[in-house]
Structure 1
Amino acid sequence: MSSAPAPPPAADPVADLHRSGRLAAEYPRLPELLRGLGDDELQRAGRLLTRLSPDEVLAEHPGQPTVSVAVTGHGTVSGLVPPLTAELARHGLLLRPHVGDFGSWLFDLADPASEVYAAGGDLVVCVLDADVVFDEVPWPWRPEDVEQVLAEKVRLLDKLAATHASAGSGTLVYTTLPLPREFSAQLVDHRSRSRLGAVWRRGNARLLGLMEEHPGLVVLDLDQLLTGPAALGDARLAAYTGTPFTPELTAALARDLAHLVRGRSGRAKKVLAVDLDGTLWGGVLGDDGPEGIEVAGGLRGRAFRQLQRVVAQLASRGVLLAAVSKNDLDPVRQVLREHPEMTLREDDFVRVVANWEPKHGNLRALAEDLNLGLDSFVFADDSAYECGLVARELPEVTVLHLDGDPALHARRLLADGWFDVRDLTEDDVRRPARYREELVRKDFLDSFASLEDYLRELEVRVELATASETDTPRLAQLTQRTNQFNLTTRRLQHDEVRALAGSPGQLVLAIRSGDRFGDNGLVGAVFVRTGGPVWRIDNFLLSCRVFARGIEQGCLAALLEHARARGAEAVEARYVPSPKNGKVKDFYPRNGFDAHGHAEDGSALFRHELRRITAVPGHLGLTVRWEREGTR
């Protein structure tokens, strides 16, 4: 009896494009092509992509977002480049890498003139491992010897972070130092092993604590990556190539680094839209009724409760949570309000959408209501049909198919760090409540015959003030996460904003707003160079939550009046086009600026001669403070 023919090999579109020589031309398609690949497939794709010169891609696509990353470390770290290339390509980013020499991390970070400083404009990654310490302990050694060397290394890393803060750019990344079992096993008594474990954990805790002292530093905790399938090290790789980690751990580190880059480049997701039946609870509400769905009881119920807890935690950290379900609205609201075992309640959602319309249409309408791009959305559903339809109709939306065992739902939701950012501000924590208020404003708008009537009744309050030190984290975050009303899309880190705010000839302004429905918080920023007779607006940005209320016109008018009062002859500004800020391309011309040519980078230049300044909109209650508090 003949055996059945072998199935044809799975299609490998990245390999096909590479063989045909079209990989550079088709680079923007990679997020779609890499979606859903397994770890081994992604590794293969990464190796192929490293053969592609970034310059080839940029020649085909000059506007392709590019990330410069320099990698250094104690051992051989070149293995990080292929998985990092693939992970960044998944998120629509192009990697321009630089790899330091073997074991050169100390020289690379201590010398501001090193190639690592020159190449790592966005990220400098220092991969650390236990041999950083054990190469310098006496042999034979005791836990006390390890403690002394480890403390010295952490102090050294503290100084290197300060050097990078003063002489480098972008973000510096350290990894923690996982402790291989081979070292603790060399201590034959359990008391000494415990002492070594305590010493090592204290050292890593101090290393993680350096983030509190250096705003431009991120420390990635590798112990958390070792809770998955990744093993720490391979003895043969370590002995023969100097590679400290297994390919699996290196790939997991690359994924975390890509999450970090995505967040600092303004691509972190903001909205989690979840299905209900089969996703947040077991069963079908319309068939089983409120008493029949699995919420917390039984083995499967406990799995759904765990997912609800994870979702609630994300919402508490500023993620906007929406329910998008094919159901009747009243029964859904009843469950969310009254079911005794529900973790999530109606107030946890910025919007509950329950109807029988196609989900992609509901998601599109929700994006319009929230004034957010669809690429800010993650959609999670247990239905392969619904996931496939949304992926086809709304390719900008990230789709998570939470099928199969509900015990795995939470892990799948968290696996890709879609909502990761470097820092969380108080404004982030309050974001869901503010967006709920924003939807109330929209309903309020719908009751008026004209926008002018609505704005008069809204009672908009605005404060334009010189930024204080406490504003710095939120201002940096606005530059990183604001895309639509961002005139240059220049991303700034915490220390860069602080340096600008403290520099002579620089004016960093914070915009706050509120109205009859609540306080919107710090929603915008203006960066201005004030030296000389011509002032220059380097960037103007505003949260999408407060568009179309006259806030931007009022703040710009106040700034122009201030420039004229201080003796300026003119104010210049520029607009750098991006895929998302097209709606503000005529912001400056609409407010009295004349076209003034183009810069070498293709950006449009504008100039206001300060003769006729547009008045502050009459419905706006504007307060202006040009001096920092405490400076008078």
Structure 2
Amino acid sequence: METPVAADPARTLLDLRRGGRLAAEYPTVRALLAEADTRQTAHAGRVLGGLDPDEVLAAHPDTAALTVAVVGHGTVGPLLGPLTGELARHGLLLRPYQGAFDSWVFELSDPGSALYAASPDLALCLLDPAVVFDEVPLPWRPADVARVLAEKTALVEKVAARFADTVRGTLVLNTLPLPRRHTAQLIDHRSRAELGALWREANARLLRLGVDNASVVVIDLDPLLAEGVPAADPRLDVYAKVHLSEPLLAAYAREIGHLARHVAGLTSKVLVLDLDQTVWGGILGDDGPEGIEAAGGHRGEAFRAFQRVAKQLGSQGVLLAAVSKNDREPVLDVLRDHPDMTLREEDFVRVTADWRPKSESIAALADALNLATGSFVFVDDSTFERGLVRRELPKVAVVAVDDEPAHHVERLLRDGWFDVRRLTGEDRARAELYRGEVARTDFLQGFASVADYLNELGVRVRLRPVTSDELPRISQLTLRTNQFNLTTRRLQPAEVAAYAAAEGSGVLTVRSADRFGDNGLVGAVFLERRDGELRIDNFLLSCRVFSRGIEQGVLSTVLGLAAGAGLHAVTGHYRPTPRNHIVKDLFPRYGFAPVQDESGTPVGEGLAFRHDLSTALHPPGHLQLDADPAGLLEGAHA
């Protein structure tokens, strides 16, 4: 039942291209490359590189396309094939911009350059050892290298600052490998140690750029090199000025694929784990609690290592769930009382143990959490179960493990499903928040009507202008919220800050709580005062708090703000995407009228709406609304 992975995906893609069907069948590429290694993906990417992105978008307008600029000190063209393939693995389409040879300083320093004109979502500045050693004198000593390193890192910091001030995208840097051919030119070990220390200090300085600058991500190449990837190919290094090896470029491209998925708003949120032979060794129903392996012995320690990794992910906001073909009580007994278990019942937002198809259990969990199945990652050792989930829930990412538990950790982590730019306080509290969401869903079952449920739920909403410490969370909402998101405009923290600080505009944050606890910061409204009207540039709300009347409370506040400021209308628009149809009638539902030209054609990008403020909109009666938007549109924000 599980779709077999082609031994050579590139051959299949080449056949499609030769038959003129590659653009038409582009959505199948994601499944075709799902299990491909970096070499296969790079090969497939070279085939896909001849594909016109506009042709794909004409056939599949809902495909997410990202503009990625690539510049560097050496020849960067060999990165485009792996990059194309890695984005395709995640259903994304690459629009590439390739800088000229050794153009990185000019391209990133000049706001009038072609790179900035391309307005990239990601700008990759590929750094390599030659950027330093090409300027080291001969003969040289560690002090000479230290001087050039200092100059280059200072230059990188300068262009990173210019990028942050100029464009909305993300600049991606990388640490510098130190090949042995450089260290071995120093014949005394003391000098080699000094060079190594200097080099690592420079790399640490680069890595801190990714900590301190919200517009910068730094890919650390050391973990990739530690897996045996060669730093350089001597022939390509000398003859073609390709200063990083093709395997290293392919591994780097895989990391960029994970980042690109996050930038496109496709970060996964839920890790669904099978139990038998996945979380623990053995079959609980056959071997009993005393017969399963969760620690001790070689296999037991492998399962313990996997559980530790899952728990670590869960501590950072990844929602853990268990779906098992077992009777419920024995499973709960193991999770509560087995002395060898690392994962416990409280680590999971839900434990499902029954005999239904696992695809049904995952779909039910998605409904309970109010999350799209595209947010789920499913890990199972059964070919049958994985194939069933792939067929019934094709948007779920499926991770294959087998009867060798020592490989479980690597297979779970290899695709960075849950990678984000940076964590927020809401991320770390997410598991508890969603456990409350499951409790709310179960609570609903005891009421005859939704109205009765909402009255008893006790929803409280607090609206305030955004503060500086909330900027990362608001940015994250723009990046990760797909369903209740009127325009799906993705913003980095610096862009949110700039919008909030501009005169006449502001960001209103939405926090909610109820009888089951605090939901945290769950939404935002971007507002701009223009020509006597108040424009809603975007309104987004976490899927955790759908259908509770919060959107009505927020819009009533926005309309009241406009009326109180003496404005004559509130406008906004809805830009349809494949995933935000839930809000397509939001504006009409609350008294906004469609804006049309004389021919009756909708005005503006997407569908434009206008409320003339002739009637008031009141918050729903069950909602306790605490709204204080004072000073929101005056340009003075905390």
User: Structure 1: how far apart are the matches of 2:178 and 2:150?
Assistant: 15
In structure 2, the partner of 1:464 is 463
| TM-superposed deviation, 1:244 | 1.1
Deviation string, structure 1 residues 531-574 (Cα, Å, up to 9, x no partner) = 32111101000000011111111011111011011011001110
Deviation string, structure 1 residues 319-343 (Cα, Å, up to 9, x no partner) = 0000000011111111111111111
| Structure-to-structure mapping, 1:173-184, within 5 angstroms | 173-184=172-183
Q: TM-score, normalised by structure 2?
A: 0.96
Deviation string, structure 1 residues 416-471 (Cα, Å, up to 9, x no partner) = 00111111101011001100011111111111121111111111111111101111
In structure 1, the partner of 2:156 is 157
Say whether the 8 Å CA contact 1:560–1:571 is kept in structure 2: yes
In structure 2, the partner of 1:75 is 74
- Quick check: 1:623 aligned with 2:633? no
User: Structure 2: how far apart are the matches of 1:624 and 1:9?
Assistant: 59
User: Structure 1: how far apart are the matches of 2:587 and 2:604?
Assistant: 19
User: Structure 2: how far apart are the matches of 1:466 and 1:10?
Assistant: 54
Deviation string, structure 1 residues 568-589 (Cα, Å, up to 9, x no partner) = 1001110001111111100000
Q: TM-score, normalised by structure 1?
A: 0.97
User: Structure 2: how far apart are the matches of 1:37 and 1:138?
Assistant: 44
Deviation string, structure 1 residues 492-542 (Cα, Å, up to 9, x no partner) = 111100000100011211100111111111000000111321111010000
Say whether the 8 Å CA contact 1:123–1:170 is kept in structure 2: yes
SS of 2:479's equivalent in the other structure is: helix
| Structure-to-structure mapping, 1:131-530, within 5 angstroms | 131-530=130-529
Mean Cα displacement is larger for which, 49-58 or 80-89? 49-58
Say whether the 8 Å CA contact 2:326–2:353 is kept in structure 1: yes
Please tell me the residue identity of whatever aligns with 2:628: R
User: Structure 1: how far apart are the matches of 2:123 and 2:16?
Assistant: 31
Say whether the 8 Å CA contact 1:125–1:174 is kept in structure 2: yes
User: Structure 2: how far apart are the matches of 1:463 and 1:282?
Assistant: 48
Say whether the 8 Å CA contact 2:594–2:602 is kept in structure 1: no
Please tell me the residue identity of whatever aligns with 2:350: R
Q: Larger RCO: Structure 1 or Structure 2 (Cα < 8 Å, ≥ 6 residues apart)?
A: 2
In structure 2, the partner of 1:5 is none
User: Structure 2: how far apart are the matches of 1:9 and 1:478?
Assistant: 39
- Quick check: 1:563 aligned with 2:566? no
Distance 1:421 1:599, change over 3 A: farther
Deviation string, structure 1 residues 80-116 (Cα, Å, up to 9, x no partner) = 1111111111111111101111111111111111111
User: Structure 1: how far apart are the matches of 2:335 and 2:506?
Assistant: 48
Please tell me the residue identity of whatever aligns with 2:371: L
Say whether the 8 Å CA contact 1:468–1:628 is kept in structure 2: no
SS of 1:76's equivalent in the other structure is: coil
Please tell me the residue identity of whatever aligns with 1:90: R
Say whether the 8 Å CA contact 2:299–2:405 is kept in structure 1: yes
Say whether the 8 Å CA contact 2:587–2:609 is kept in structure 1: yes
- Quick check: 1:595 aligned with 2:591? no
Please tell me the residue identity of whatever aligns with 1:65: A
In structure 1, the partner of 2:612 is 609
- Quick check: 1:577 aligned with 2:563? no
User: Structure 1: how far apart are the matches of 2:39 and 2:451?
Assistant: 58
User: Structure 2: how far apart are the matches of 1:117 and 1:613?
Assistant: 45
For structure 2, the residue ranges without an aligned partner over 5 or more in a row are 1-5
* Number of positions where the alignment pairs a residue of Structure 1 with one of Structure 2: 625
In structure 1, the partner of 2:113 is 114
Say whether the 8 Å CA contact 1:461–1:513 is kept in structure 2: yes
SS of 1:139's equivalent in the other structure is: coil
| TM-superposed deviation, 1:40 | 3.4
For structure 1, the residue ranges without an aligned partner over 5 or more in a row are 1-7
In structure 1, the partner of 2:3 is none
Deviation string, structure 1 residues 269-327 (Cα, Å, up to 9, x no partner) = 00000100000110011111111111111001111011001100000010000000001
Distance 1:523 1:84, change over 3 A: same
User: Structure 2: how far apart are the matches of 1:248 and 1:493?
Assistant: 31
SS of 1:580's equivalent in the other structure is: coil
Please tell me the residue identity of whatever aligns with 1:498: A
| TM-superposed deviation, 1:127 | 0.3
Please tell me the residue identity of whatever aligns with 2:609: F
User: Structure 2: how far apart are the matches of 1:442 and 1:9?
Assistant: 44
SS of 1:441's equivalent in the other structure is: helix
| TM-superposed deviation, 1:228 | 2.0
User: Structure 2: how far apart are the matches of 1:46 and 1:599?
Assistant: 39
Say whether the 8 Å CA contact 1:379–1:397 is kept in structure 2: yes
Deviation string, structure 1 residues 572-614 (Cα, Å, up to 9, x no partner) = 1100011111111000000000011366775001000001122
Please tell me the residue identity of whatever aligns with 1:612: T
In structure 2, the partner of 1:3 is none
Could you say what the CA RMSD is over the residues aligned between the two structures, in angstroms? 1.6
Say whether the 8 Å CA contact 1:592–1:613 is kept in structure 2: no
User: Structure 2: how far apart are the matches of 1:290 and 1:312?
Assistant: 21
SS of 1:273's equivalent in the other structure is: strand
Say whether the 8 Å CA contact 2:294–2:300 is kept in structure 1: yes
Distance 1:619 1:321, change over 3 A: same
SS of 1:571's equivalent in the other structure is: strand
| TM-superposed deviation, 1:120 | 4.2
Please tell me the residue identity of whatever aligns with 2:355: W
In structure 2, the partner of 1:543 is 542
User: Structure 2: how far apart are the matches of 1:572 and 1:27?
Assistant: 37
Distance 1:522 1:218, change over 3 A: same
In structure 2, the partner of 1:99 is 98
Say whether the 8 Å CA contact 1:70–1:123 is kept in structure 2: yes
Deviation string, structure 1 residues 52-71 (Cα, Å, up to 9, x no partner) = 11122223233322110110
SS of 2:530's equivalent in the other structure is: coil
User: Structure 2: how far apart are the matches of 1:191 and 1:112?
Assistant: 44
Please tell me the residue identity of whatever aligns with 1:493: Q
User: Structure 2: how far apart are the matches of 1:415 and 1:284?
Assistant: 26
Please tell me the residue identity of whatever aligns with 2:617: T
Identity of aligned residues (%): 56
Distance 1:63 1:397, change over 3 A: closer
Say whether the 8 Å CA contact 1:117–1:124 is kept in structure 2: no
Say whether the 8 Å CA contact 2:172–2:218 is kept in structure 1: yes
User: Structure 2: how far apart are the matches of 1:125 and 1:193?
Assistant: 30
Mean Cα displacement is larger for which, 131-140 or 44-53? 131-140
User: Structure 2: how far apart are the matches of 1:63 and 1:280?
Assistant: 37
User: Structure 2: how far apart are the matches of 1:378 and 1:21?
Assistant: 33
User: Structure 2: how far apart are the matches of 1:267 and 1:631?
Assistant: 31
User: Structure 2: how far apart are the matches of 1:245 and 1:601?
Assistant: 46
User: Structure 2: how far apart are the matches of 1:374 and 1:611?
Assistant: 41
Please tell me the residue identity of whatever aligns with 2:164: A
Please tell me the residue identity of whatever aligns with 1:539: N
Distance 1:13 1:189, change over 3 A: same
Say whether the 8 Å CA contact 1:465–1:624 is kept in structure 2: yes
User: Structure 2: how far apart are the matches of 1:625 and 1:162?
Assistant: 35
